[in-house]
Structure 1
Amino acid sequence: MESKYRYGDDYPKQCPPSTANCPIGGVLFRVCKNELVKNGKLNSDNFIPAWETPRRNFPPVQECSAKALSFFDTVKGVKDLLRKHPKIGNTVIKIELNRYCGVIEKTGDKGHYSLWDLKEPCIVDAIEGNWKEVYLDEQVVSQ
């Protein structure tokens, strides 16, 4: 039986981890590189796992995390990432995740989370309109 996740059955054993939970009502931040809206909805080009980055190879031990989407729980975490990797993107969005997004696990000590998204609905359809652009130069992020 094929997996319900983005890559079907093409995941290493124990991936997504059994400790990953459904993101019910969670608010997280994601860095985006492409325009935010395309064809009237959130641009799915901003939700491509690192696994699909051209010319990048991952050792087997990193395959599971490379097939997940990265999120942060604070704006500070996003700013730290952008300071270290400025080419990763220049726009940040705040997203309200829900059970249709997939499963998630905290995967770093700096507020990093990995989300293994579902094939259906795709992550953009699961999020729907529950997102907002965040302006990093503001002192307070608007709700």
Structure 2
Amino acid sequence: MHDIRFIRENPKEFDKALGRRGINAASKEILKIDEDRRSAILAAETAQAEQNKSSKLIGAAKASGNEEEFERLRKLVAEKKDEVADMNARAKSLDEELALALMSLPNILNQEVPDGNDDNENVEIFSWGEPRTIKNPKEHYEIPA
């Protein structure tokens, strides 16, 4: 799987490397999913912080006898709890989508690897001995028989 930090820091280089494999540029889509995922995580953490802050204030409102403030804070905590759950679910979904997108791409080639779309275009760097020729070769599924 590809490193998302590398893609964030070098999107053009990543797309160029994919192009050498005959794959269309994918960094924009990957970075969009990553940005949405990071936004969802930030929203969940912000809502969690607000929920924690309000939870602490509930005790003070209850102790002071301010029922109106107590009810307002209790409703706010319930809303934030739902918001945290929604944002965490969204972040998890986007995380799975990002992982699937990254795993569906092939590895990028080393810069020393020569370009070539098939065996005819590949450059032979080194060869040793003569290739063997086999009379009446068996298919792979016939070998165990």
With the shorter chain as reference, the TM-score category is under 0.3
Could you state the TM-score of these two structures normalised by the residue count of structure 1? 0.21
Could you state the TM-score of these two structures normalised by the residue count of structure 2? 0.21
Q: Which has the higher helix share?
A: 2
Q: Which has the higher strand share?
A: 1
